[in-house]
Amino acid sequence: MPFSYSGFVEKMRVAASSQTPTISVREELVSTLASEELQKSGLPEQHEDEILLFEDDTVSIWSCRFNPEFVMPPHEHKMEVHIGVVSGQEKNIMFEQNNGVLKHVKTEIVGPGEILSIGADALHAVTAIGDTHSHALHVYLGPLTKVKRDLYDWITGSAVDFTMENFEDMKRSPKELPAF
């Protein structure tokens, strides 16, 4: 039986509403990434880079594909997120913002079968590395589309409203940025 988003969503909804959502979501992601059905079929092909699979007040579940030709701008989620990479490599560039200045803290490379958990106060930029897109399942412990979030200017570090227009304007080529 091939992997299905509907089955994955149901597992994540149960895990996110458990008494230990962080542990339960991570356990389900580990199980999903190791599953024979996902190993054989992979994720369904998608034409958009980000697809919202499900959202309620407890959880937001996304299928995310990142292009190595663009780095998504520094942004926050204001909620915990668990990222399970299915294919390619996802590069998460972690920052701190202090008095209007962005400071690079570390870079996390997440490959197929690996999970990265990011706390509610984290600030990061994302891209794929290598010659291919990365493709991952992102599980946020809250209603991501209903939360007011910020993007952070690459140069000034100042916060701007997270709108799709700002997001697109602030994407950069990796060649335009320092090596993180």
pLDDT, mean of residues 106-131: 96
What are the sequence ranges of the domains in the chain? 48-174
Determine the pLDDT at residue 101. 85
State yes or no: pLDDT of 1 exceeds 70: no
Q: DSSP letter for 44, please.
A: P
Widest CA span in the chain: 52
Average pLDDT, the chain: 94
State yes or no: pLDDT of 7 exceeds 70: yes
Q: Which CATH architecture has domain 48-174?
A: Sandwich (2.60)
Q: DSSP letter for 71, please.
A: B
How many Å apart are CA 150 and CA 139, to the nearest integer?
A: 19
| Strands of the 115-118 sheet, one edge to the other | 50-55, 60-66, 134-140, 81-87, 115-118
State yes or no: pLDDT of 128 exceeds 70: yes
